[in-house]
Structure 1
Amino acid sequence: MSVAPAQSANVLWFLPTHGDGRYLGTATGGRQTDFAYLRQIAQAADTLGYYGVLLPTGRSCEDSWIVASAVAPLTQNLRYLVAVRPGLQSPTLAARMTATLDRVSNGRLLVNVVTGGDPVENVGDGIFLSHDERYEVTREFLCVYSALLRGETVRHEGKHIRIEDGQLLYPSTQAGGPPLYFGGSSPAAIDVAAETIDKYLTWGEPPAAVAEKIATVSAAAKTAGRKLSFGIRLHVIVRETEAEAWAAADKLISHLDDATIAKSQQIFARMDSEGQRRMSALHGGNRDKLEISPNLWAGVGLVRGGAGTALVGSPEQVADRIKEYMALGIDSFILSGYPHLEEAYRFAELVFPLLPLNHGKPVINGIVNNGPFGETIANDAKPAQKRVASS
């Protein structure tokens, strides 16, 4: 089933609550990711005009709800994409948390539905369900959770969840609750997505594979009498020239040795996530052929779980690749780069002017020492400006 091309896009950034640094897979160049640093990234993303930020979830991360609730009051427009965890939270508790954070942030909450794909982490959290059973729980969870956010009183008796007289006394700011984002590549996941969520997310596979996935999900949604929008999760390495970008990509993994890569791939292999399997298959643990599509590089996935690919190139090349995904129907881009503070600035300054965005961009207001003007020359002369027209 064909999906209409996206005419404009939302670009989100990432809060690295699991760590940050200049290199992957090593403590060299590592950076303390305390609250002050996360606040800097969030405020930078807010100032630069990003639509929102994704907060990851799992035992390797600081708790996303607490971080978001602490940072949100320190920003003005930035939205926060925070995970609910079916099977780990009750749907009624999750609905109360959602409504509260949505009110605290003045309607700036987005919800990421995460089922969990690492059996070892799952049992550590008390979840002893198979892959398909977790998606059964997710379907029931969302049935209750969404109904509560719509203001309904819920009575539900299913295979995994039983609720009597479930109510949400204090509603969310966004009518009916925040939009639901969701990623999952297995048939069970796609069935749940088609029936329950608003925006389907994919990790950064080559455009042909993404097009195939979008067609499959869109067809499933049509069968369920629904229509979804689509987003993609990618890293970015953008520099003023293509050569500089590829040098930066090589530098990012310059401290990786074969033993570290092999250990990482063993951990990924134990997971029952179809999305993770697809990410790992893009490189096979081999660092020799990492450009898997024009300007799409799989080097991040050698040691990082989940999103394992990056767009690499000049601003024009990266913008062109984003527009290729937009032509497939992708309207939301969740991006990140190492280190996350500097790369938030770099991407916004170099690529935002080349994209048709739905959200705010820095405004040139004519003040010499404010905005993207550079330092005053010899204390007296205003530097020349070269403006790039938005496409």
Structure 2
Amino acid sequence: MARFLITLPGRADGGRGARPAFPDSVTDLRQAFGPFDHLAQVGRAAEIAGFHGALAPFDPEGDESLVVAAGLLRQSRRLRAVAGFHPGIATPVYAAKVSASLQRFSGDRLDWRLVVDLDPAVARAQGDFLEGPDRYARAEEFLTVAKGVWSEEDYTYEGRFYQVLAGGFQSPLAGRAFPRVHLSGTSKEALELSARHADVHVFDPEDDIEAAGPPGVTYGLRIPVLARDDDDEAWEAARRLSSGTAPGTSLRNGLVGSFETVAAGIRDYIDRGVGVFFLEAAPYVEETYRLGERLLPLLTKEGARVR
């Protein structure tokens, strides 16, 4: 049974790259619309349209994904929020505590999307100077410690990167479900990390899923989509997007075509073992409704039910 999630923009302005026309403050009650209202609209569209969840991606120049995820969880009743973040942003104890609090008021609807392998320049701009296999060694310890303090009241750990002495959560933080962990990458280190810690291993369309997938882990796929009533209309919209006349995301290696064509492409991935889809489409609000109303029902009819 496949699950479908929509990918949010990494920035409150919708990723347009320009400063929004409205003020940055969302607390000024004189303003009818603030920058985070766009993200809220996409989240509401995802829930109304029947998506299983929404991904708040890690964007080094964008809004903090855990803050965005908290907003999505607060305004929705069933939508799961996947927060993408880098393990260098905080200690695993603090990340676990923030997440336990989010689980408490959302009914355990928070997931993690850990981004381990950053471009070195991006990583250094985030204050992280680890390179090579050390990045995965730290991620291993990060997840080990986060799960340890989450599940044990008297937890002690001593590693290369983190140390905890007699830690662990008690009431009211204890007892919640640990966030589902989404990881990615095709290197040996990435696949071994997923085999030990991931609930979902997320691939890109160009990856060899059959050859690279870690055993015992659900396969996910990040894929751009553009669907219209027929193939010609879809490709014309894709040409407008690629020429810059329409705001959106890159369709490189994505699925473009009629709703039936795109549904067939997704069913092919399901047959290859993919169980979770992170769909990328823009403009975000409009396309979320469009895909929910026209694409997801086709997949439901074929047995790939949204849950």
For Structure 1 versus Structure 2, the TM-score category normalised by the shorter chain is 0.7 to 0.9
Give the Cα–Cα distance (whole angstroms) in 2 for the partners of residues 315 and 16 of structure 1. Answer: 23
Structure-2 change in CA distance of 1:173 and 1:162 (3 Å): closer
Partner of 1:14: 7
Quick one: which amino acid aligns to residue 41 of structure 2?
Answer: Q
CA distance in 1, matches of 2:125, 2:240: 35
TM-score normalised by length of structure 2: 0.86
Q: Give the Cα separation in 2 of the matches to 1:179 and 1:78.
A: 14
Whether the 8 Å CA contact 1:20–1:338 is kept in 2: the answer is no
TM-score, structure 1 length as denominator? 0.69
Aligned length, in residue pairs: 287
Which residue is 2:270 aligned to? 326
- Is 2:106 the partner of 1:108? no
2:36 partner letter: F
How many Å separate the matches in 2 of 1:186 and 1:129? Answer: 17
Find the aligned partners of 2:176 and 2:274 in 1 and give their Cα distance: 23
User: Partners of 1:9 and 1:116 in 2: how far apart?
Assistant: 27
Secondary structure of 1:234's match? strand
SS in 2 for 1:140: helix
- Checking the alignment, whether the CA contact within 8 Å between 1:107 and 1:172 is kept in structure 2 is no
1:105 to partner: Cα distance: 1.4
SS at match of 1:300: coil
Note closer, same or farther for the CA distance 1:173–1:340 as it changes in structure 2 (3 Å cut).
Answer: farther
Residue 31 of structure 2 aligns with which residue? none
Partner of 1:231: 220
CA RMSD of aligned residues (A): 2.3
Is the Cα–Cα contact under 8 Å of residues 57 and 85 in structure 2 kept in the other structure? no
Query: How far, CA to CA, are the matches of 1:189 and 1:153 in structure 2?
Result: 30
Over the matched positions of the two proteins, sequence identity in percent amounts to: 30
Which stretches in structure 2 are left out of the alignment for 5+ residues?
23-33
How far the C-alpha of 1:309 sits from its partner, in A, is: 3.3
Query: In the alignment, does 2:303 pair up with 1:359?
Result: no
Aligned to 1:166: 167
- Distance in 2, Cα, partners of 1:204 & 1:329: 13
In the TM superposition, residue 357 of structure 1 has moved relative to its aligned partner by 4.1
| Aligned residue runs from structure 1 range 34-73, under 5 A | 34-73=35-74
Q: Which amino acid aligns with 2:223?
A: L
Aligned to 1:210: 209
Alignment of 1:246-325 (within 5 A): 246-255=235-244, 300=250, 308-325=252-269
Tell me: CA distance 1:252–1:81, structure 2 relative to 1, closer, same or farther (3 Å). Answer: same
Alpha carbons 2:151, 2:169 under 8 Å: kept: no
Q: Identify the residue that residue 26 of structure 2 maps to in structure 1.
A: none
Asked whether the equivalents of residues 65 and 85 of structure 2 are also in contact (C-alpha less than 8 Å), the reply is no
Q: Which has the larger radius of gyration?
A: 1
The 8 Å contact of residues 226 and 238 in structure 2, kept in 1 or not, is answered as: yes
User: Which whole-Å deviations, capped at 9, do the CAs of 1:244-298 have from their partners, x for residues lacking one?
Assistant: 1111111101139xxxxxxxxxxxxxxxxxxxxxxxxxxxxxxxxxxxxxxxxxx
Letter in 2 for 1:241: D
